[in-house]
Amino acid sequence: MSDTPRTDAAVSQILQTSQHERVKADFARKLERENATLRADLLIEEERSIYWRDNEGKAMAENAALWADKERLDWLEASDLWPASLDFWPHHLPQVGGSLRAAIDAAMKEAQP
């Protein structure tokens, strides 16, 4: 089996007809249109690649922040501070400037042996 079946089919068609030049031109036009479509698709993929390359740092930072929030929530859920002791928050919030995340972080450090 040939690895160029479309070309082989076009050559076969050319050999079977007396309109050689018209068939060759039609085939060339079809290949040019396909090539233009593939090049346009390639440009789109290159633009996507550039976008993700340029935004990788931002995505990594967002991912790290989400993991930190997950660790906070996992710790809070496993601790005896939630939901029984809501007076925990006023104790820690002033120390960390009123940030709930920072209060959880401070409590996590306190709870470590």
**pLDDT tens for residues 44-53?**
999 999 998 8
pLDDT score of 96 more than 80: no
**In this predicted model, which residue has the larger pLDDT, 46 or 5?**
46
CB atoms within 10 A of CB 103: 21
As a whole number of angstroms, the distance between CA 98 and CA 2 comes to 72
Q: Give me the pLDDT at residue 18, please.
A: 64
pTM passes above 0.95: no
Q: What are phi and psi of 87, to 5 degrees?
A: -75, -5
Residue 21: which of 91, 13, 100, 2 has the closest Cα? Answer: 13
Residues whose CB falls within 8 Å of the CB of residue 24, separated by 6 or more in sequence, listed in order: 10, 14
The encoded tokens of residue 69 equal: 């929030």
Q: Give me the pLDDT at residue 40, please.
A: 95
Residues whose CB falls within 8 Å of the CB of residue 92, separated by 6 or more in sequence, listed in order: 103, 104, 106, 107
As a whole number of angstroms, the distance between CA 107 and CA 76 comes to 9
